[in-house]
Structure 1
Amino acid sequence: MTNSQRPYDDRRTPLPPVQSPASGVPSPRVRAGQDVRPAKPGKQRDAFFDNAKYLAIVLVAVGHAWGQILDDRTVETLYRVVYTFHMPAFVLISGYFSRNFDLSPRHVKRLVSGVVVPYVVFEIAYSLFQRYGNDDPDHSVTLLDPTYHLWFLCALFVWRLTTPLWRTVRNPLAVSLAVAVLASVSPLIGDDLDMQRVLQFLPCFVLGLLLRPEHFQLVRRRSVRILSVPVFAAATVVAWWSVPRMRLNWLYHNTAAQEMGAPWWTGPVMVLATLGCSLLLTACFFAWVPRRHMWFTALGAGTIYGYLLHAFLVKAGNYTGWFDQPALAHPLGVLALTVCAAAVVTVLCTKPVQRALRCVVEPKMEWAFRDNPGGSAPDRRPREAAERREPAEKVSA
């Protein structure tokens, strides 16, 4: 401590010796029942976000299972409610944890090893699975047309690359909404890298970049949890009404208005309306996510494994005709399918699966990168010092 930080009188009374509290009496600095064990070194994961990610991946798997039996109006109603918010919630969380992304070598490495490599590996795997598992020899392997759910990795790659832009421009949320609106009336964008979804879901990612911990505190209040019940009930009624009246592509955000045979002006209207509903239901979903450690909290760290793997089973069910079973036309069959989908994706998020597939899902790839990219170590010291001075909330998970 420098002299300028000391009290005016350097003579300070020594502190009293530390005394152990009397038996049965808690220390005045610790509440009774509080865990006083020393914190483990390293960053502590937030149970709220791990719980949210696990519950979201369960909804993804259940939604994909329901998507194979949409002949029942009740199932499609629930499917529409889930599809209104489960991917927006995932995208928003991804944006929240991308707040400090820049084009530094460390972040580029993580982007390549954690997004690009899994996409390439699983895109090839799913293409080969369709060629041989579905007896489709004409199916070609391509990296420009994402298979099924792998569009999210393409989108995450693009979104993170553009993060410095959204952290620089004024009114980034308004700009991203304008981009989404323009995409909805641009049928010439094409299917490469599923750019319609990349652009139309962009506002959810940008909103995540703008959020701070105190914003999530707002939805954790008891009043919000209570209000979310009638909101979800109203959403279910609207979804039931929309089944014969609205195409699902509006919720998928994968098509321009003209490609659906709708007037061009419906694109901006539907994009803004569906994104607004998505934000509302996402807030209601977060309101019911537990804040404490649960039995499934640890699984939140492995949701990428469940996301990448569960579609193999969905596609296998399609290839073998399993979803055509008569039992799935009855409520008990639908319930059994729902429980099965939730159980399977839960297993896929566990530690044994993570250890077995970490080499392709989260490879370290030290061999692929230079040890000292971007110059000598002394050249990077000012930047590293600046990063250490950043507020804690800007540190990625």
Structure 2
Amino acid sequence: MNSVGTAITQPRRRVPLWDNARWIAITLMVVGHAILKLIGEADVAYTLYLFIYAFHVPVFVAVSGYFAKSGPPDARQMHRLLTDIIIPYVIFETIWTGLRWILGGKLVLDYSTASWTLWFLLALLVWRIALPYLVLLRYPLLISIAISIGAGYLPNIDGTFALSRTLGLLPFFVFGWKLRQWLLTDTWLELRAGLIWRWRAGAIGLFALLYLVIALNIQALRDLQVRRFLLYDEAYGVFDYSSWWAGGIRLAVMLLAFALIVAFLMLIPRRSTWFTDLGAATMYIYLLHTFVLYPLREMGVLDGPQPAWVLPGMIVLSVAISIVLSLPVVRRAFRPLVEPRARWLFRSSAATPTGTIVLPQRDRK
């Protein structure tokens, strides 16, 4: 009896593989945002950008899906939707609105249009709500792929409430959930070291081939606007892909991303590393790094041709930003914004399905 009680009360042990994956994926996201201004002038920067965007957002979404609950939501899960997603979105969207106004823009408080990276919070909200319904269906992954491809044909599905990205990236969230159902990571963690390195060699080969193909065809990829397909945020017709086969390109990009997600996870250290603990702070990095990069992007510092050292310098800066924003002191300082508890918002007693309040036993007469 005691052992059962202990098992119930102990917190779930964090798996180093996933914290390592979280931190590396979010750091790649910072790199991608940091070098955006360089891609117009430098093919080497554009090559790196396309390489990163081929998998880093799908990886981040898949990791979120891996830990998503697919059963009927309980009170705790609904509480967390508010405190982890909705309230931080309102807080940071308000901050961005005020910042743009201070810098000379108009004061327009529009919560239907997410600022910069805040689209992910809106998408995550929808994915978490939709997953229990999707998994009731026989083929949730195939259905999510069909939704993603189909959404690209509809020009009225745009950035309002991040709907285009929400539907476009939905398959990766479901794919992450499926990885847990397939128990692939459990098998991977138990695999012998000799077999591990064989699979990792194949993963390295896949990434090397991808980078080589991008580098050798960079001008063609510019002309084909492949970057627009990797963002999943527009209908195909918006960037002149009105033909019926445009959805086939999204499907190809998506299938490649599925393979890259698995390859990425194979290359992630399975044991604890110096950055494992930093993986618990990915939402801090995600929400705060934009404020660090904003001056560099908007002040013209990176406009036009740049010296060769700027690209590696931005990569180093991105890693440093990711490390600093993961530190406990930063998390303590910004926790009220990133992880607001908002206890004042919630009633102290639960309510029944009919809306009547359930009083604690001691208050009943």
Q: Give the TM-score taking structure 1 as reference length.
A: 0.80
The corresponding residue for 2:310 is: 333
Question: Aligned with 1:189: secondary structure?
Answer: coil
* Matches of 2:359 and 2:330, distance apart in 1: 37
The corresponding residue for 1:344 is: 321
Question: Aligned with 1:302: secondary structure?
Answer: helix
CA contact (8 A) 2:141 2:171 kept: yes
Aligned AA (1:49):
W
The corresponding residue for 1:106 is: 76
Question: Within 5 A, what are the aligned runs for 1:133-152?
Answer: 133=103, 135-136=104-105, 138=106, 140-152=108-120
Deviation per residue, 1:320-374 (Å, 9 max, x gap): 2222386xx2332211111011101211111111111111211122221122323
CA contact (8 A) 2:158 2:233 kept: no
Deviation per residue, 1:29-67 (Å, 9 max, x gap): xxxxxxxxxxx9422111110000000111000010111
Does 1:174 pair with 2:142?
Answer: yes
Say which of 289, 300, 306 aligns to 2:268: 289
Greater CA drift, 291-300 or 236-245: 236-245
* Matches of 1:264 and 1:218, distance apart in 2: 42
CA contact (8 A) 1:77 1:243 kept: no
Aligned AA (1:82):
I
Greater CA drift, 52-61 or 264-273: 264-273
TM-superposed deviation, 1:377: 8.1
The corresponding residue for 1:300 is: 279
**Could you say what the CA RMSD is over the residues aligned between the two structures, in angstroms?**
2.1
Q: Give the TM-score taking structure 2 as reference length.
A: 0.87
CA contact (8 A) 1:73 1:243 kept: no
Aligned AA (2:320):
A
TM-superposed deviation, 1:130: 2.2
Aligned AA (1:245):
D
The corresponding residue for 2:122 is: 154
Provide closer, same or farther for how the CA distance between residues 325 and 337 of structure 1 changes in structure 2, counting only shifts above 3 A.
farther
Does 1:115 pair with 2:115?
Answer: no
* Matches of 2:244 and 2:199, distance apart in 1: 34
CA contact (8 A) 2:97 2:107 kept: yes
The structure with the largest alpha-carbon Rg is 1
Provide closer, same or farther for how the CA distance between residues 110 and 254 of structure 1 changes in structure 2, counting only shifts above 3 A.
same
The corresponding residue for 1:233 is: 208
TM-superposed deviation, 1:218: 5.5
CA contact (8 A) 2:93 2:114 kept: yes
* Matches of 1:335 and 1:165, distance apart in 2: 45
Question: Aligned with 1:162: secondary structure?
Answer: helix
The corresponding residue for 2:29 is: 60
TM-superposed deviation, 1:99: 2.9
The corresponding residue for 2:288 is: 309
Does 1:268 pair with 2:243?
Answer: no
TM-superposed deviation, 1:92: 0.4
* Matches of 2:93 and 2:245, distance apart in 1: 33
Identity %: 31
TM-superposed deviation, 1:139: 5.3
TM-superposed deviation, 1:84: 0.8
Deviation per residue, 1:216-263 (Å, 9 max, x gap): 256663222100122112111232314333211100011111111113
CA contact (8 A) 1:76 1:243 kept: no
Deviation per residue, 1:269-317 (Å, 9 max, x gap): 1111111111111111111111111111111111100100001122211
* Matches of 1:126 and 1:264, distance apart in 2: 37
Greater CA drift, 229-238 or 43-52: 229-238
The corresponding residue for 2:156 is: 188
* Matches of 1:201 and 1:111, distance apart in 2: 19
Aligned AA (1:270):
I
